[in-house]
Amino acid sequence: MIIVHHLENSRSQRVLWLLEELGLPYRVQRYERDRRTMLAPPELKAVHPLGKSPVIVDDDDAGATQTLVETGAIVEYLVAKGGALGPPAEREAALQYRQWLHYAEGSLMPPLLLKLVLGRVPLFGKAAQKKVQPMVDVHLDYVERELADRPWFAGNAFTAADVMMSFPLEAARSRAGLGESRPATMRWLAAIHARPAYQAALKAGGPYAYA
């Protein structure tokens, strides 16, 4: 049984969604953020020294207990375990899959996180946010151009790359200007939110502000 240490309103929602898509059995251990700092609670440090979410703990097929952190690594582990939603057979689509799988956290999330942090800084934070927004827009325009040509990030088939891209784009819609001016991206968001597995993951994970 896979145990998902799930922090509310966090990257770990993607892990629940992927598990539902793959049909793998799991159990959720929920954690709430500190209402003052909005950080993860100290209890997560008992699970992993970083005290971050997501973390999964799995008794693998060889009888060993595996503890994994980092959403991308967890996604690759679950795709291999579930035997689905990995890179497509076509070379170009497989390359797109790998690019977007890593782009989500490596390129898109850092400016979004910077914008969030600056928004909490008194006095000069909002002014600094305005300087970050053009950096975010470069990424959102790039995503829009790519999705204008195909329904999913890796081509014509839904894959784990779409799961990885969900959280940063949901966050961008919430706090970084993603809206109807980018219709292809908004269509993609509507498509993932309509998936039964996505809806099942929302029920499993509890309140999620970005759906």
Question: What is this structure's pTM?
Answer: 0.94
pLDDT single digits (tens) 64-78? 899 999 999 999 999
Note the Cα 176 to chain centre separation in Å: 16
Mean pLDDT of 188-209: 96
pLDDT at 124: 67
- Model pLDDT for residues 165-192, shown as the tens digit of each residue: 999 999 999 999 999 999 999 999 999 9
Pick the CATH number of 91-195 from 1.10.3760.10, 3.40.630.30, 1.20.1050.10, 1.10.540.10: 1.20.1050.10
Cα dist from 124 to 134, 136, 167, whole Å: 17, 19, 27
Band of pLDDT at residue 35, cut at 50, 70 and 90: confident
155, β-bridge pairs: 152
Predicted pLDDT at 131: 87
Peptide bond into 41 cis (omega under 30): no
> Is the pLDDT assigned to residue 108 strictly greater than 90?
yes
CA distance 125 to 10: 23
Residues of the chain with CATH 1.20.1050.10: 91-195
Least confident of 2-11, 31-40, 96-105, 156-165: 31-40
What Rg value do the Cα atoms of the chain yield, rounded? Answer: 17
Every domain range in the chain assigned CATH 3.40.30.10:
2-85+197-205
Q: How far apart are CA 135 and CA 11, in angstroms?
A: 21
What is the end-to-end Cα distance of the chain in Å, rounded? 27
Note the CATH number of domain 2-85+197-205. 3.40.30.10
Give tens-digit pLDDT for 115-156.
888 877 776 667 777 889 999 999 999 999 999 999 999 999
pLDDT(199) > 70: yes
Indicate the average pLDDT of the chain.
94
